[in-house]
Amino acid sequence: MNRRYIVVTPCRNEAKNLPKLVQSVVSQTLRPLLWVIVDDGSTDRTPEIIREAAQKYEWIKGVCIASSSKRDLGIHLASIVRTGFEYAIRYCQRNGIDYAYLANLDADLILERSFFEDILKEFEKDPELGIASGGTNHIVGDKVIHAKLRDDEPSGGHMVIRRECYEDCGGIPLSYALDSVLKAKARLRGWKTRRFETAIATEIRDVGSAEGYWKGFMHNGRSDYYLGYHPVHVVIKGMKFCKRPWYGGIAYLSGYLNSLIRRKDRIADDEVKIYFRNKWKCIISKQRLFRLRGRKRG
């Protein structure tokens, strides 16, 4: 089977974390054919670290671009990721590199040694699998916390995409929450999306501060407004987020309402807009089914 894959990593001011990721990827039991690291205008040693890695390993390539001074998790990030994938694809075309999978990899991760090999084995088992990731651990203070998510929700920070699925979806979308949009497009085209807890990526950036949580949930709220989430769904998510931590739901709703009041732009892709607009119906149906099963057991 063809386990040939290429990787793209966007980064900005990741001098503290990037060396650990480089060592993690270099130590993989199955290395990528090409790894493109895109520097988004870093002001620390990140460009130097990329150059050193590229000099040591010929399959690592660095792309440096000018950027704004502010870290942006929205459309700008999607633009950086798209730039990396387009560069990687052109490089493969020019150099006759045949690949079967593409991966997006955040700069603040440490991967298990067999991470990519284990994920690609899952692709070989199911020809309808379009996008997959491993499970995620988070560093919060002095604790390592495992993220509990649905098994059909791969993480965008370490997702692997089958080449046919990538091309079927039109590549990386220029959008907020690019991973959510890409997964939606894949599902609408009949591709499966999965998350496999047998392969673990650990996010080494400490996200445990109140400021970090608040900004993260605010961003989620703005993204869901952009994607066109139904107000019922937004309220449900806001209530859910109040549990981790308690102010998460407030930050999430603040992000959504801020965009709503300011009438910010929403995604123009109609199929994606309809997909996210109707997701709340699936949630309500699942809750009703769960309650019905509970009554039958009682």
CATH number at residue 82: 3.90.550.10
Per-residue model confidence (pLDDT) at position 243: 79
The verdict on 80 and 56 lying in the same domain is: yes
Residue found under tokens 């671009």: 65
The verdict on 255 and 179 lying in the same domain is: no
Per-residue model confidence (pLDDT) at position 143: 82
Q: Could you give the CA distance from residue 200 to residue 192 in angstroms, rounded to a whole number? A: 20
The verdict on 28 and 176 lying in the same domain is: yes
The verdict on 292 and 159 lying in the same domain is: no
Whole-prediction pTM value? 0.88
Q: Could you give the CA distance from residue 221 to residue 227 in angstroms, rounded to a whole number? A: 10
Please give the residue range of the domain that contains residue 282.
210-297
Per-residue model confidence (pLDDT) at position 280: 72
The residues of the chain scoring below 70 in pLDDT are 1, 67-73, 206-211, 244, 283-298
Beta bridge pairs of residue 195? 133
Per-residue model confidence (pLDDT) at position 234: 93
Encoding tokens for residue 98? 């045949």
The verdict on 108 and 235 lying in the same domain is: no
- Give, to the nearest 10 degrees, the angle between helix 210-227 and helix 178-188: 40
pLDDT, tens only, 41-57: 999 999 999 999 999 99
